[in-house]
């Protein structure tokens, strides 16, 4: 119970001081939500006039989204607002969550939607409930099939990061002296999501630019964007292409590459015969920590801090001071491998 100002105010005996007491109480409650905002949702009580922000993510079990939340928690603590973290895994949950946020007195929310085509419905609901809205990671798609550029968004520079992956794969192939004739690319794709398509398209473009033969690049579409989905997609491709001696693997994120690496292992491929580069740099830490190297060579570490902390800061300033965030913010990434990941993760505040 670290609330001396509140207690002092509550016990002030003079009626003339009642107003001041109320002000103290409000201030101390705000501080209380500051200190508990990092805890479980629902543990903090909002105060009249205090800022409350929702943070909805599509895959709450994934390390990337847990890290976004971790940085959002840090923003809540640093700025002193109440953070409500909600795992919104389908459209119904998203719409119900927006209702609950509005009923609970929130003024805005940040969302990585489970389906970008929900964009117009989310915008309408947010407008009706007078909630400010920032999309993160996955940009909304409008009824016309185009990105909803009027919705404030923070996401990655997907094409550039994908191209980076492709260029690194081409370089690793060269270093190993693999011949194009017995090497192939396994691109685990999720083309219904624009940021995912941009990433694998970018990787393929860079591989071709580096001279890799187009006809030896194979796409394996994900049915579900997770490790089991990628394992299945890769297995189908590996069955169809039994003659390949060396594989280069790219995908939309770490999970996409991890599933493929596991499928490759099932067929006898390892770090001597396959190279995979992920994206996120957060869902592959356990893989990189493994004592023996695997075909998962490295990953482009994204800035979870920008996606979690900065989005919250933008929303907070918007709610509190009317400072509208930029319409479109794009973040970059950097390669982590077994060589440097411990140091980089420490520098980025991801690992101690
Ligand atoms: C998408 C992916 C996540 C992560 C984010 C980064 O949402 O599904 O794994 O890569 O983009 O913005």
- Whole-number Cα distances in Å, 161 to 36, 195, 238, 253: 36, 10, 26, 11
- Which among 138, 153, 203, 300 is the best mutation to test ligand 1's pocket, defined by most ligand atoms within 8 Å of the CB? 138
Last residue of a domain, which of 261, 280, 302? 302
Ligand 1 centre distance from Cα of residue 138 (Å): 7
Domain enclosing residue 207, as ranges: 158-302
Looking at the DSSP bridge assignments, the partners of residue 110 are: 55, 134
The residue whose C-alpha atom lies closest to atom 7 belonging to ligand 1 is 137
Q: Residue 280: CB within 6 Å of ligand 1?
A: yes
- Which among 67, 137, 153, 306 is the best mutation to test ligand 1's pocket, defined by most ligand atoms within 8 Å of the CB? 137
Q: Which residues of the chain have pLDDT under 70?
A: 1-49
pTM of the model: 0.87
Q: Residue 68: CB within 6 Å of ligand 1?
A: no
pLDDT at residue number 67 = 97
Ligand 1 centre distance from Cα of residue 10 (Å): 48
Name the H helices within the chain: 4-10, 18-36, 63-79, 91-103, 119-128, 158-176, 194-209, 227-240, 254-266, 285-289, 304-305, 311-321, 341-347
pLDDT at residue number 49 = 55
> For the chain, how many structural domains are there in total?
2
Are 164 and 296 in the same domain? yes
Residue 298 forms part of a structural domain = yes
Q: Residue 302: CB within 6 Å of ligand 1?
A: yes
Q: Which residues contact 226 (CB under 8 A, 6 or more apart)?
A: 59, 62, 255, 259
- The secondary structure of residue 90, as a DSSP letter, is S
pLDDT at residue number 233 = 98
Q: Is 63 exposed, middle or buried (0-12, 13-18, 19+ CB in 10 A)?
A: buried
- Which among 196, 280, 330 is the best mutation to test ligand 1's pocket, defined by most ligand atoms within 8 Å of the CB? 280
Residue 111 forms part of a structural domain = no
Contact status, residue 67 vs residue 136, Cβ threshold 8 Å: no
Residue 216 forms part of a structural domain = yes
Last residue of a domain, which of 262, 281, 302? 302
Residue 287 forms part of a structural domain = yes
Residue 13 forms part of a structural domain = yes
Q: Which residues contact 350 (CB under 8 A, 6 or more apart)?
A: 67, 282, 304
Residue 97 forms part of a structural domain = no
**How many Cβ atoms are within 10 Å of 289's Cβ, its own excluded?**
11
pLDDT at residue number 352 = 83
* Residue 217, domain CATH: 3.40.50.2300
Question: Comparing C-alpha atoms, which of 205, 256, 265 is closest to residue 238?
Answer: 265
The DSSP annotation for 1-70 comes to ---HHHHHHHT---GGGHHHHHHHHHHHHHHHHHHHTTS-TTSS---TT--EEEEEES-TTSHHHHHHHH
Handedness of CA 250, 252, 254, 260 (dihedral sign): negative
Residue 242 forms part of a structural domain = yes
Question: Comparing C-alpha atoms, which of 291, 280, 288 is closest to residue 331?
Answer: 280
pLDDT at residue number 42 = 40
Residue 185 forms part of a structural domain = yes
């Amino acid at each position: 119970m670290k609330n001396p100002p509140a207690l002092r105010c509550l016990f002030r005996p003079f009626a003339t001081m009642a107003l001041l007491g109320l002000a103290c109480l409000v201030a101390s409650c705000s501080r209380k939500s500051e200190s508990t905002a990092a805890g479980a949702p629902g543990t903090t009580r909002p105060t009249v006039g205090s800022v409350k922000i929702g943070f909805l993510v599509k895959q709450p079990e994934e390390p990337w989204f847990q890290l976004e939340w971790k940085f959002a928690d840090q923003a809540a603590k640093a700025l002193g607002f109440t953070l409500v973290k909600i795992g919104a895994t389908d459209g119904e949950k998203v719409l119900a969550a927006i209702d609950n946020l509005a009923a609970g007195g929130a003024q805005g929310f940040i969302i990585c939607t489970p389906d970008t085509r929900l964009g117009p419905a989310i915008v309408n609901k947010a407008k009706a409930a007078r909630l400010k809205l920032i999309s993160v990671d996955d940009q909304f798609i409008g009824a016309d099939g185009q990105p909803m550029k009027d919705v404030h968004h923070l996401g990655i520079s997907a094409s550039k990061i994908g191209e980076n992956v492709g260029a690194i794969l081409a370089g690793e192939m060269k270093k190993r002296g693999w011949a194009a004739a017995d090497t192939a690319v396994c691109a685990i794709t999720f083309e219904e999501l624009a940021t995912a398509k941009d990433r694998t398209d970018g990787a393929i473009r860079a591989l071709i630019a580096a001279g890799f033969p187009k006809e030896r690049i194979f796409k394996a579409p994900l049915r579900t964007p997770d490790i089991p989905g990628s394992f299945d997609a890769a297995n189908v491709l590996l069955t169809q292409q039994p003659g390949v001696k060396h594989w280069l693997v790219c995908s939309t994120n770490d999970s996409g590459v991890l599933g493929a690496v596991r499928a490759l292992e099932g067929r006898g491929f390892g770090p001597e015969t396959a190279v995979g580069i992920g994206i996120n740099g957060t869902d592959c830490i356990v893989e990189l920590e493994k004592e023996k190297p695997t075909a998962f060579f490295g990953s482009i570490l994204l800035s979870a801090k920008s996606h979690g902390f900065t989005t919250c800061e933008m929303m907070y300033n918007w709610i509190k001071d009317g400072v509208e965030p930029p319409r479109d913010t794009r973040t970059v990434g950097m390669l982590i491998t077994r060589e440097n990941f411990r140091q980089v993760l420490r520098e980025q505040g991801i690992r101690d």
